[in-house]
Amino acid sequence: MSTEYDPTEYTDEHVFENMDELFGLLVTAGILEQKGPRLSTFYILYQKINEGCKCHTKARLEQALEGYKDLKNLNLSAKMAMKRHLYVKKIVFKQNGEVLFEL
């Protein structure tokens, strides 16, 4: 397969049901460094959810969720890199059963 994006070789979509699934992919696939600052920010915020005082866990969870939602603003090269990695034409990002956005 060439390194060019060829949507004819890809499935229709990949759905992240929640930010936990995306974080799991980033950890297992080792693709974070290719995706730019927004994914890095989300990754760091998610990692910190259970760090520190438990009284601030809810606030850290909200920050991670905002980082997840901000992924809708990924630059074109980051979007294309994610699609190539997942072999899909479209990526759907959901949380609590609600579609937040699609790339």
% helix, strand, coil for the chain, step of 5: 55, 20, 25
The H-or-E segment that residue 14 falls in is strand 11-16
* Residue 17 lies inside a defined structural domain of this protein: yes
Q: How confident is the model at residue 4 (pLDDT cuts 50, 70, 90)?
A: low
* Residue 28 lies inside a defined structural domain of this protein: yes
- Considering its fold, how many domains does the chain have in total? 1
* Residue 2 lies inside a defined structural domain of this protein: no
Range of the domain at 35: 7-102
* Residue 61 lies inside a defined structural domain of this protein: yes
Does pLDDT of 85 surpass 80?
yes
* Residue 35 lies inside a defined structural domain of this protein: yes
Look at the alpha carbons of 71, 77, 80, 85 in this order and tell me if their dihedral is positive or negative. negative
What is the pLDDT averaged over residues 69-94?
A: 92
Residue 77's pLDDT is what?
85
* Residue 54 lies inside a defined structural domain of this protein: yes
* Residue 1 lies inside a defined structural domain of this protein: no
